[in-house]
């Protein structure tokens, strides 16, 4: 959680670790076609693609996850 909320945004977070964190926070994961994923948490929805071939989330993805968590009422406190 700390890595997602850190500023400046980190680009070295394993995407699978972010998925696990969201599931542990209560998010529902909906697999789409190919690498597409949807996350639902507290009536908020986020669409992303798993990065490939790299396993790390891109900076913009980390920022999207941060905004998604904040809008769902999840903070780093």
What pLDDT is recorded for position 77? 67
Nearest of 35, 36, 39 to residue 18 by alpha carbon: 39
Residue 70 backbone dihedrals phi, psi, to 5 degrees: -60, -45
> Which sign does the torsion angle of CA 27, 37, 49, 68 carry?
negative
- Model confidence band, residue 11 (pLDDT cutoffs 50, 70, 90): confident
**Tokens matching residue 10:** 């980190």
Contact 9, 62 (CB under 8 A): yes
What pLDDT is recorded for position 3? 93
Q: What is the pLDDT of residues 22-71, one digit of tens each?
A: 999 999 999 999 899 999 999 999 999 999 888 999 999 999 999 999 99
**Checking DSSP bridges between strand 44-49 and strand 28-31, what pairing results, if any?**
unpaired
Mean pLDDT for the stretch of residues 6-16: 93
């Amino acid at each position: 959680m700390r890595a997602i909320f850190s500023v400046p945004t980190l680009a070295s977070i394993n995407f699978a670790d972010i998925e696990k964190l969201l599931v542990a926070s209560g998010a529902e994961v909906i697999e789409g076609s190919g690498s597409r994923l949807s996350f639902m948490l507290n009536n908020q929805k986020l669409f992303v693609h798993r990065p490939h071939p790299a396993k790390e989330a891109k900076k913009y993805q980390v920022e999207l996850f941060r905004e998604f968590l904040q809008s769902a009422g999840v903070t780093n406190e």
